[in-house]
Amino acid sequence: MDSDIVVDSKGRILIPKEIRKKLNIKSGSKLILKIEDERLVLLRATPLKDFQSELESFQEKLKKLTTEPISTDKLF
């Protein structure tokens, strides 16, 4: 879905309603703005609780791969 938007005098942009609705972006939603080459990329930030849940799932999968304890210090 493409949409032409305009930057206002304060540097703000308006995300079109149909895009906000499709991506469930509401007032107060946290977003991440990245620069990739010559493009701006806007991503919805992952809430911390979702990240923690994914990390716990990943840890459970790692446990199945080895019988030895895994130090998180060694993972990073």
Domain boundaries, position 15: 7-65
Give the residue from 18, 16, 17, 15 showing the smallest Cα distance to 31: 15
Residue 74 lies in a domain: no
Residue 70 lies in a domain: no
The pTM of this model reads 0.55
Residue 60's domain is classified under what CATH number? 2.10.260
Task: State which amino acid sits at residue 27.
Answer: S
Q: What pLDDT score was predicted for residue 59?
A: 83
In this structure, the strands spanning 39-44 and 31-36 are: antiparallel
Rounded Cα distance between 5 and 13, Å, is: 7
- For residue 1, being part of any structural domain is answered with no
- Residue 38 has what pLDDT? 93
Evaluate whether residue 22 is within a structural domain.
yes
Q: What confidence tens digit (pLDDT) does each residue in 34-64 have?
A: 999 999 999 888 777 767 777 888 888 877 7
pLDDT of residue 76: 64
> Does residue 75 lie in a domain region?
no
Q: What is the identity of the amino acid at 23?
A: L
Region 16-27 average pLDDT: 92
Determine, yes or no, domain membership for 14.
yes
Round to whole Å and give the CA distance between 24 and 39.
23
The tally of domains found in the chain comes to 1
